């Protein structure tokens, strides 16, 4: 069966690859990007003072633990003499500098990480020390920026007084690719709103996310049910991976406890941990269940459950983006925060949801009974509302900015009186046949 299951997995990968969100251009957040801004504050003759800021201008994607790991490549023999608000992971080879006073970092391609919260004040700068975590624009616009300052030497290239920018910027977060630096008008600052000072030069780098660059396999899947049907449509088989494929590691747990053999990551770890998922036919770390719960005269009620199948990750500040035509008449949401994304002005059929602080903003690992739930009330809009043809189910679901695998519409729960329409799709038939054997 191995070649067939490989083929099936490949088929799902292709389905994800051709989906519109995979090209780096995101129709739900067309201007979304993370901008790195490099402000030359002072030219001291032989060294420069620079402030580096990282701004997350994305509507719903955030940067979670282990945070950003910013790196670049110096063009010459620059070294970082000092840094505050962040630190280089490696000092590197500083043996060419004699004496006690060694630079902070002599690497040709330094990697910079944010400091932990609670760092002593004398090492802090404004907007620093958040472990590299950035909120999204919708969730918390006051927490979208990280900053640090550094002092580095002028490269010893003869006959040039120009400020030199490094190249090859990277955020160290899977899925992002960054542009070359480009010069922009100098940043301006004011303390009293009356007088403005400006920096010597400002350069920007824009970094854009692509789900396909991040990982060729999806990270979440959707299952569906409705009060009017006995059918519970599970996540498609092999949504994220297939049990039995090489590299498809999963854990069977009879009890609800985290298997003791797993090594849990340290809280201050700076590396992304590979998911360790509970064995399931979908093999996704996250499952979203959409249940059409009730119908009233003027309203209908949907229950949404997010379940964490990953044993080694608590999802902090998780978020969910849903697209459904009736979300324009969202009337009430219980126990989640929400905000319409309203990207196309009038048509607000896309809504972002996230947890309530200290209540359910942390989606715990499965071992800790990991799920969060909400119910929402939607007004039945005249002319568009119907339970027919699977209309009551979401069009697109994203968890933490990644698109989730949906069941095929042919399998959606149907109203009891509507005739059963057999699937005409060859591919679904094939998946079904395979699913019997796998």
Ligand X SMILES: *[C@@H]1O[C@H](CO)[C@@H](O)[C@H](O)[C@H]1NC(C)=O
Main-chain dihedrals φ then ψ at residue 6, nearest 5 degrees: -60, -45
Q: Which of 223, 273, 217, 224 is nearest to 240 (CA)?
A: 217
Interacting span for ligand X (CB under 6 A) from 80-88, 193-201, 364-372, 420-428:
364-372
Does residue number 299 form part of the binding site for ligand X (CB under 6 A)?
no
Q: Which of 53, 155, 72, 151 is nearest to 110 (CA)?
A: 72
Shortest approach of ligand X to residue 262 CB, angstroms?
9
Shortest approach of ligand X to residue 313 CB, angstroms?
6
Q: Hey, which residues between 52 and 111 contact ligand X (CB under 6 A)?
A: 55, 57, 73, 75, 93, 95-96
Shortest approach of ligand X to residue 74 CB, angstroms?
7
Interacting span for ligand X (CB under 6 A) from 27-35, 376-384, 394-402, 428-436:
27-35
How much is the CA Rg of the chain, to the nearest whole Å? 25
Q: Quick check: 163 and 40 in contact, CB under 8 A?
A: yes
Q: Which of 277, 304, 330, 376 binds ligand X (CB under 6 A)?
A: 330
Token digits of residue 134: 């950035």
Q: Quick check: 413 and 228 in contact, CB under 8 A?
A: yes
Cα angle for residues 228, 233, 235 (degrees, 5° grid): 150
Considering all CA atoms of the chain, what is the largest pairwise distance in Å, rounded to the nearest integer? 86
Question: What single DSSP character describes residue 154?
Answer: P
Mask 235-274, x = binds ligand X (CB under 6 A)? Answer: ---------------x-x-----------x----------
**Dist. CA 145–CA 40, nearest whole Å:** 18
Q: Quick check: 395 and 389 in contact, CB under 8 A?
A: no
Q: Quick check: 262 and 312 in contact, CB under 8 A?
A: yes
Interacting span for ligand X (CB under 6 A) from 15-23, 111-119, 363-371, 390-398:
363-371
Shortest approach of ligand X to residue 358 CB, angstroms?
12
Mask 341-360, x = binds ligand X (CB under 6 A)? Answer: -----x-x------------
**What is the rounded end-to-end Cα distance, in angstroms, of the chain?**
7
Does residue number 204 form part of the binding site for ligand X (CB under 6 A)?
yes
Q: Hey, which residues between 123 and 162 contact ligand X (CB under 6 A)?
A: 160, 162
Interacting span for ligand X (CB under 6 A) from 14-22, 296-304, 308-316, 379-387:
308-316
Q: Which of 35, 153, 316, 337 binds ligand X (CB under 6 A)?
A: 35
Q: Quick check: 214 and 175 in contact, CB under 8 A?
A: yes
Shortest approach of ligand X to residue 422 CB, angstroms?
30
**Dist. CA 284–CA 306, nearest whole Å:** 12
Q: Which of 31, 231, 269, 274 binds ligand X (CB under 6 A)?
A: 31
Does residue number 33 form part of the binding site for ligand X (CB under 6 A)?
yes
Shortest approach of ligand X to residue 225 CB, angstroms?
24
Token digits of residue 53: 């800021």
Interacting span for ligand X (CB under 6 A) from 193-201, 228-236, 287-295, 307-315:
307-315
Shortest approach of ligand X to residue 167 CB, angstroms?
5
3-class secondary structure, 377: strand
Token digits of residue 307: 């379940």
Does residue number 279 form part of the binding site for ligand X (CB under 6 A)?
yes
Q: Which of 13, 125, 200, 364 binds ligand X (CB under 6 A)?
A: 364
Token digits of residue 437: 């054997």
Q: Which of 111, 368, 377, 411 binds ligand X (CB under 6 A)?
A: 368
User: What would the DSSP string read from start to end of 196-238?
Assistant: EEE-SEEEEEEEEE-HHHH-SS-SEEEEEEETT-S--BPPPTT
Total chain residues near ligand X (CB under 6 A): 33
Which residues bind to ligand X, rule: CB under 6 A? 31, 33, 35, 37, 55, 57, 73, 75, 93, 95-96, 160, 162, 167-168, 184, 204, 206, 250, 252, 264, 279, 312-314, 328, 330, 340, 346, 348, 364-365, 368
């Amino acid at each position: 069966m191995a070649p067939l299951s490989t083929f099936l997995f490949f088929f799902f990968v292709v389905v994800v690859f051709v989906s519109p969100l995979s090209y780096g251009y995101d129709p739900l957040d067309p201007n979304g990007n993370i901008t790195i801004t490099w402000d030359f504050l002072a030219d001291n003759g032989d060294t420069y003072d620079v402030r580096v800021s990282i701004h997350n201008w994305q509507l719903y994607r955030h940067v979670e633990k282990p945070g950003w790991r910013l790196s670049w490549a110096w063009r010459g023999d620059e070294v970082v003499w000092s840094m505050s608000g962040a630190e280089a992971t490696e000092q590197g080879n500083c043996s060419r500098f004699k004496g006690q006073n060694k630079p902070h970092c002599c690497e040709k391609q330094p990697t910079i990480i944010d400091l932990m919260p609670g760092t002593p004040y004398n090492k802090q700068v404004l907007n620093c020390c958040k472990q590299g975590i950035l909120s999204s624009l919708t969730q918390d616009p006051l927490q979208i920026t990280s900053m640090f300052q550094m002092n580095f030497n002028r490269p010893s290239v003869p006959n040039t007084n120009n400020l030199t920018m490094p190249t090859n910027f990277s955020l160290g977060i899977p899925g992002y690719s960054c542009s070359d630096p480009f010069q922009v008008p100098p940043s301006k600052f004011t303390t009293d709103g009356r007088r403005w000072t400006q920096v010597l030069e400002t350069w920007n780098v824009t970094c854009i996310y692509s789900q396909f660059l991040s990982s060729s396999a999806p990270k979440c899947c959707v299952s569906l049910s409705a009060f009017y049907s006995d059918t519970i449509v599970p996540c498609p088989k092999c949504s994220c991976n297939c049990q039995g494929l090489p590299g498809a590691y999963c854990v069977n747990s009879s009890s609800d406890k985290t298997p003791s053999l797993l090594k849990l990551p340290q809280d201050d770890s700076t590396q992304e941990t590979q998911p360790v998922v509970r064995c399931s036919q979908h093999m996704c770390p996250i499952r979203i269940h959409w249940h059409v719960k009730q119908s009233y005269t003027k309203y209908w009620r949907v229950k949404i459950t997010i379940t964490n199948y990953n044993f080694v990750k608590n999802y902090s500040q998780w978020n969910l983006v849903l697209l459904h035509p009736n979300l324009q008449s969202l009337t009430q949401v219980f126990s989640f925060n929400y905000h319409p994304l309203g990207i196309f002005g009038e048509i607000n059929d896309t809504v972002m949801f996230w947890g309530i602080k200290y209540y359910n903003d942390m989606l715990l690992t499965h071992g800790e009974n990991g799920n969060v739930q909400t119910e929402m009330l939607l007004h039945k809009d005249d002319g568009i509302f119907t339970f027919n043809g699977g209309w009551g189910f979401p069009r697109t679901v994203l968890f933490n900015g990644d698109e989730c695998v949906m069941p095929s519409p042919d399998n959606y729960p149907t109203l009891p009186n509507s005739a059963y329409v057999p699937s005409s799709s060859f591919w679904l038939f094939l998946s079904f046949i395979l699913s019997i054997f796998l």
